[in-house]
Amino acid sequence: MPRLTLEVPAGAAGQRADAFLAQAVPDLSRAAAQKLLESGLVTQNGEKVRKNLRLCGGEQLEVERPPARESRLVAQDMALDIVYEDSDVIVINKPRGMVVHPAAGHEDGTLVNALLAHCGGSLSGIGGEKRPGIVHRIDKDTSGLLIVAKNDAAHQNLSQQLKSRTLSRVYDAVVIGCPREMQGVIDAPVGRSPRDRKKMAVTPQGRRAVTHYQVKAQYEGYAHVRCRLETGRTHQIRVHMAYIGHPVAGDPLYGPKNDRTGLGGQCLHARELSFVHPATGELVHVSCPLPEYFTQFLKKISRGEWYEEV
């Protein structure tokens, strides 16, 4: 079982053990860190460390990580729109409606199933049995670019880039109404909604979330905006745009209940990705065009065929 020794710096004094681990280990999420702590796989001087332990600085933590389990997922030969690929990473233009990884109700037909068929055994195991290679996710009904790691070293490197914000992600969206400011920054913490556990929300208990937006075009009742993520919280753009009063058009969770767009899901597309290549150190920039559902909706609203008030 792989073992990692971490020395807690003085600057981390007062920080919770789970939060420190999530920051100190590149490919470890807060939830995964909590699981390691709860399983007794993090120790100090042979004693189990509690996840809510407040660190003092100067401690030495021993972290054991269970090896990735052999995947029992089925490889499925499905068409993939590959935008970039080499021996370390692959970037996919995910179609709208495709689930990224298996979950309850979606055991197959996912992007992971397709990647297993395309890449064979060349996917990192860090994401876990059901998420091999997956560095970050986009929602089922969000289309666009997603980067996947083919080996553990690439996965660790890209995960660290997500945390250090050298991996840049740009999205296009159609929102209801038009923000008063043509460009701006939404800096509001996002966490699980206290009212509905299926949703995220801007909440003081959430983690810091920052979205930069720019209005590209205005229509009657709508606007085409471009968003750059500074952080990557679950549903961040959808939550943030709804928070400022301009939810993403067609959004079933954060938009108006009487949706009349006919979109059948949020009009949100991951159009650009920039990252430092984990092996070469070179900057890689990839982009993909707007999909048909997006461009068709822009045509409809440009002709004034759709109008909706919040």
Q: Which two tokens stand for residue 12?
A: 């981390």
Q: How far is it, in rounded angstroms, from Cα 57 to Cα 188? A: 29
- Given 18, 27, 139, 172, which residue is catalytic? 139
Contact 254, 242 (CB under 8 A): yes
Q: How far is it, in rounded angstroms, from Cα 137 to Cα 148? A: 10
Q: What's 35's DSSP letter?
A: H
Tokens 């409809």 map to which residue? 300
At 53, phi and psi to the nearest 5?
-65, 130
Q: Which two tokens stand for residue 41?
A: 């796989």
Strands 283-287 and 268-276: antiparallel
Strands 268-276 and 143-149: parallel
Instruction: Indicate if 139 belongs to the active site.
Output: yes
Element (H, E) at 231: none
CA–CA–CA angle 91, 96, 102 (5° rounding): 75
Contact 138, 100 (CB under 8 A): yes
E-strand ranges in 164-256 read 168-176, 183-187, 190-192, 200-202, 210-219, 222-229
Strand pairing partners for 92?
82, 146
Q: What's 286's DSSP letter?
A: E
Positions marked active-site: 139
